[in-house]
Amino acid sequence: MQIARILQSQGFGSRRECRSLVRAGRVTVNGNAVDDPFLEFPLDGLVFTVDDEDWEYREKACLMLYKPPAHECTHKPHFYPSIYTLLPPELTARGVQSVGRLDQDTTGLLLLSDNGQFIHTWSSGKKRIPKRYRVTLKHPHTPEFIRQLLEGVLLHDEAEPVRAADCTPIDALTLWLTITEGKYHQVKRMVGAAGNRVEGLHRDCIGGLQLPAVLEPGDWCWLSPAHLAALEDYPQTA
């Protein structure tokens, strides 16, 4: 593929803008300077730099973000900054979208991609993908409260009770809660229906993928083959 088309596919601007980048001497490919925008390169294992920043060619962008508090999962936020301001502009130019959303005050693991099939797979409720949250409560939990979450609570506008896949206390005011659906404000509504209130919410796991300890709030990284394999590694439920 021509280097200008490669740059365009990776979010570096229009075809004309990418040709100008190359002609200005701002691009190298596999360590070699390139000044002809029409030169062609194989895509497999391609590494290029723009303004001395390394990039690996990726046909599709799949990444994870440690969402910090006070950020909205939308391109048009109302009250807080968008999560997309935390990403390089090249990724937003590619059209990456969050896989589902976290409330502005919820932190933790968020997947993003420009791959429609990936987004559909990991946001669909049909696969019953487990998502684990660390929940901080307003009032101490009780055995009855945990029983209700595990056996199911009826949410407003829902015909059937909604159950937690797992509920494990951490301390008097904190617990791990795993859900396999993606209903609107589900954890907060479940906790409210069981007679308590969420004071803090953090998602640390989707499928079998746990938020890496090396990521700090606001950090992002590409999903590696190991990460993608971990996503799929979770107990299947009926």
pLDDT one-digit tens code per residue, 61-83: 999 999 999 999 999 989 999 99
pLDDT over 70 (residue 27)? yes
pLDDT over 60 (residue 91)? yes
- Name the band, by pLDDT with cuts 50, 70 and 90, for residue 183: confident
pLDDT over 80 (residue 178)? yes
- Name the band, by pLDDT with cuts 50, 70 and 90, for residue 184: confident
pLDDT over 80 (residue 238)? no
pLDDT over 80 (residue 126)? no
Catalytic residues: 103
Average pLDDT rounded to a whole number, residues 97-111: 95
pLDDT over 80 (residue 90)? yes
- 124 φ, ψ to 5°? -75, 135
Nearest of 79, 126, 84, 88 to residue 101 by alpha carbon:
84
Q: Which domains does the chain have, with CATH numbers?
A: 3-56 (3.10.290.10), 62-125+208-232 (3.30.70.580), 130-206 (3.30.70.1560)
pTM of the model: 0.91
- Name the band, by pLDDT with cuts 50, 70 and 90, for residue 207: very high
